[in-house]
Structure 1
Amino acid sequence: MRLRYGMNPHQAASLDSAPFTVVAGEPSYINVLDALTGWQLVREAAEQFGVPAAASYKHVSPAGAALGETVAAAYARARDADPKSSYGDFVAVSHPVDLELAAVLKRVVSDGIIAPGYDEGVVEILAAKKRGTYLVLEADAEFEPPAEEVRELYGVRLTQTRDALPLTRGLLSAEVPDDTARDLLLGMIVARYTQSNTVVLMKDAMAIGIGAGQQSRVDCTRLAGEKAALWWARHSTDPLTGVSMVSDGALPFTDNVVEAQRYGVSHIAEPGGSIRSPEVAAACAAARITWSETGVRLFRH
């Protein structure tokens, strides 16, 4: 399949095969990257928690991700986390798109969507967006990716096993309540499909702040916190509390804990194993933040 263009319009691109069908529109290289990454996130989240999941993707990282009672509710919550960054997003949802979600998407600026199916009348509504160029992809829900991933870069072929490690309750501290465990595990799933370095702030089954792609981890924490604070300010005048934080890599210094405190974090899950992890654990204890040393790094590049 010939793609509209590569990462930039001056680059030609093509696709040999894919676990989706193009229902409407014509995909670009980045559309495919966003679609495949977003689909993996929502599929894993829905399988883990048994409810609809949605993600709003921009440049191969989610601007927001959430669970919901319906697919429309899940997407509304995902987009509400950071509507500025979600402008022109690529949507991924775990369940078939119904007329309720189609009505939401009709009102917002978005580039495309991937879902496992579409109810009657939905494709016509979506395909009319963007003067008829809106991209609609139908995922093959039965497709299982190979165990080995391959990437070619500058003439070099890299292979590795796919990151399919189960993310389970046993990775978290026994002190963590069940609702918090859900948020931390969902945050780990979000981190798994976000460009590193990554810090995810979670509340009520919703990523309220994602700091992605920063070279300094404390900058990730600060960025996620600032986004979470903006989200909270739109909904409440009370102090932000009860936030859960996930880091895809070990917290190297206690400055991350100091920043986390500023944004109402009461639970942190991170790989640990750093030379200063005992100091991080002590700082969490002093701040009355539960600390889960998962032992699982979730880098994505």
Structure 2
Amino acid sequence: MRYGMNPHQAAVMTPVDRAPFTVVSGEPSYINVLDALTGWQLVREAASTFGVPAAASYKHVSPAGAALGGSVVEAYTRARDVDPKSSYGDFVAVSHPVDAELAAVLKRVVSDGIIAPGYDDGVVEILAAKKRGTYLVLQADPGFEPPAEEVREIYGLRLTQERDALPLTRDLLDDGVPDDAARDLLLGLIVARYTQSNTVVMVKDGAAIGIGAGQQSRVDCTRLAGEKAQLWWSRRSGEPLTGVSMVSDGALPFTDNVEEAHRHGVTHIAEPGGSIRSPELAAACAALGITWSATGVRLFRH
């Protein structure tokens, strides 16, 4: 590895059993690996769930954008277009092999690297030439299955937990949620699973259009996600933003989250529920015409 979290930290990468990817070109840093493996898990799960290509644009172990598409280039273009300012210098994750069309897009944008399950002929040469020949190209092993336990060592302690592999399925959502909104809520749950907590994800038409990540206050997550969603929408339409689905990785503690979500066109919310104020949240959603799904599933990631 080039270095650890920072250039003054040496780092080594050691497979537990077998490596989940091969280095095709370039040399990874510690953060490159974190972005690559987190992004790959997101797009792999999304593509498996929905049966279409998925892409994510990662920065500092959280996605700036994530989306589904009819092709791999459409998925990535939609993902990067969510928050292009934050996607500057991103690490790309795509669920399907990279073709010449996607390579042509990546050639034009500022990006640090990519992970994908394969590359069409001639594509690696195009990508490897980026960043004066230092662009990182990783090939994921689609058949790799991670260990059932995750281990982290920090300051002399070893922490071990089960890997978060709980299925995220339609039956977590309220029966009254329409199919399109259910797709968006499920995509939001997948995105939240691979985003630094606290996290709120707003989704519309198969794209995570606003991600509020890593905030200590839940309502700040909601506000940040909503502002990003509004900015995304303003580039497309002069009409009010509506039909947005919102996911929270943790229980919404107060109704201010619902009110803030409503300001940004949210009509469907999925969150763990189980809070002492959940009845108040359900009532606030009903009063504002928002469907509310208490999934019973928390998706914290640290």
Q: What TM-score comes out, normalization by structure 2 length?
A: 0.99
Deviation at 1:99, TM superposition (A): 0.3
- Equivalent position amino acid for 2:6 in 1: N
- Equivalent position amino acid for 1:288 in 2: G
Q: In structure 2, how many angstroms separate the alpha carbons of the residues matched to 1:12 and 1:87?
A: 26
Deviation at 1:56, TM superposition (A): 0.2
Match of 2:2 in 1: 4
Q: Deviations over 1:28-82 (max 9, x none)?
A: 0000000000000000000000000000000000000000000000000000000
Within 5 Å, give how 1:46-61 maps onto structure 2: 46-61=47-62
Within 5 Å, give how 1:91-106 maps onto structure 2: 91-106=92-107
- Equivalent position amino acid for 2:261 in 1: A
Within 5 Å, give how 1:221-232 maps onto structure 2: 221-232=222-233
Deviation at 1:138, TM superposition (A): 0.2
Q: In structure 2, how many angstroms separate the alpha carbons of the residues matched to 1:264 and 1:16?
A: 46
Within 5 Å, give how 1:1-301 maps onto structure 2: 3-17=1-15, 18-301=19-302
Q: Deviations over 1:170-210 (max 9, x none)?
A: 00000001111000000000000000000000000000000
Q: In structure 2, how many angstroms separate the alpha carbons of the residues matched to 1:115 and 1:195?
A: 22
Q: In structure 1, how many angstroms separate the alpha carbons of the residues matched to 2:99 and 2:154?
A: 40
Q: In structure 2, how many angstroms separate the alpha carbons of the residues matched to 1:110 and 1:102?
A: 12
Q: In structure 2, how many angstroms separate the alpha carbons of the residues matched to 1:151 and 1:168?
A: 28
Deviation at 1:278, TM superposition (A): 0.5
Give the 3-state SS of the residue equivalent to 2:245 in structure 1. strand
Deviation at 1:137, TM superposition (A): 0.1
- Equivalent position amino acid for 1:150 in 2: V
Q: In structure 2, how many angstroms separate the alpha carbons of the residues matched to 1:268 and 1:196?
A: 17
Q: In structure 1, how many angstroms separate the alpha carbons of the residues matched to 2:25 and 2:61?
A: 21
Unaligned runs of 5+ in 1: none
Give the 3-state SS of the residue equivalent to 1:237 in structure 2. coil
Unaligned runs of 5+ in 2: none
Q: In structure 2, how many angstroms separate the alpha carbons of the residues matched to 1:261 and 1:203?
A: 14
Give the 3-state SS of the residue equivalent to 1:201 in structure 2. strand
Deviation at 1:90, TM superposition (A): 0.1
- Equivalent position amino acid for 2:8 in 1: H
Q: In structure 2, how many angstroms separate the alpha carbons of the residues matched to 1:262 and 1:181?
A: 21
Q: In structure 2, how many angstroms separate the alpha carbons of the residues matched to 1:76 and 1:178?
A: 24
Q: Deviations over 1:187-241 (max 9, x none)?
A: 0000000000000000000000000000000000000000000000001000000
Deviation at 1:88, TM superposition (A): 0.1
Deviation at 1:84, TM superposition (A): 0.2
Q: Deviations over 1:116-175 (max 9, x none)?
A: 000000000000000100000000110000111100010100000000000010000000
Q: In structure 1, how many angstroms separate the alpha carbons of the residues matched to 2:108 and 2:33?
A: 23
- Equivalent position amino acid for 1:146 in 2: P
Structure 1 stretches of at least 4 aligned residues deviating more than 6 Å after TM superposition? none
